[in-house]
Amino acid sequence: MRKIGVFLFFLSIISGTCYSQLEDSITICQSDLSLSKNNPELILPVIQNQGKHSSFLQIEAVEVKNQKLNPVVFKVFIDMMGKNPIEIGSYSFYPVDQPEKFYVDLKERFNKNEFQIRLQLQNLDALDNDVHLKFKKAVWLK
């Protein structure tokens, strides 16, 4: 029985997303890659491809729940470890209730292993509680 418990613990770590905050030396596991009014900020993990790839990063929303068709805007930031975040841009959905792919050009400005992607939902006062966005891990384009 103990082996099953240990296996389930490691399985939860593998299936979740973990990242470290260097300032606090804390590792955070985040299995739900979602934005909502109650969870307006998200650190989006980046899948590191082997070999050479372009400077474009693909951010994909795989599920959009927005029954009242509110305009939804989120900002993308680059978090350099230990420095102030850099705003890359604002993105929105059209139509406002359909999943979409977004492309961010980083122009080779950053060492790809030393930053995190932060998504931040905007205009929270104008959103209903039913707005929910679910994302996949970001991927470098080849």
Distances from the Cα of 7 to the Cα of 1, 16, 30, 84, angstroms? 10, 14, 19, 38
Q: Are residues 42 and 19 in the same domain?
A: no
Amino acid at site 126:
A
Greater confidence (75 vs 2) lies with 75
CA angle 25, 61, 27 (to 5 degrees): 10
Q: Are residues 10 and 59 in the same domain?
A: no
Q: Are residues 24 and 44 in the same domain?
A: no
What CATH number has the domain bearing residue 136?
A: 2.60.120
Q: Are residues 16 and 85 in the same domain?
A: no
Domain boundaries, position 1? 1-31
Q: Are residues 23 and 78 in the same domain?
A: no
State how many domains the chain has.
Answer: 2
Q: Decide: residue 4, CB within 10 A, 0-12 exposed, 13-18 middle, 19+ buried.
A: exposed
User: What is the token pair recorded at 135?
Assistant: 């994302």
CA gap 18, 134 in Å, rounded: 17
Q: Are residues 49 and 93 in the same domain?
A: yes
Q: Are residues 54 and 111 in the same domain?
A: yes
Q: Are residues 16 and 86 in the same domain?
A: no
- Per-residue pLDDT tens digits for 28-53: 345 689 999 999 999 988 887 666 66
> Global pTM?
0.72
Q: Are residues 45 and 102 in the same domain?
A: yes
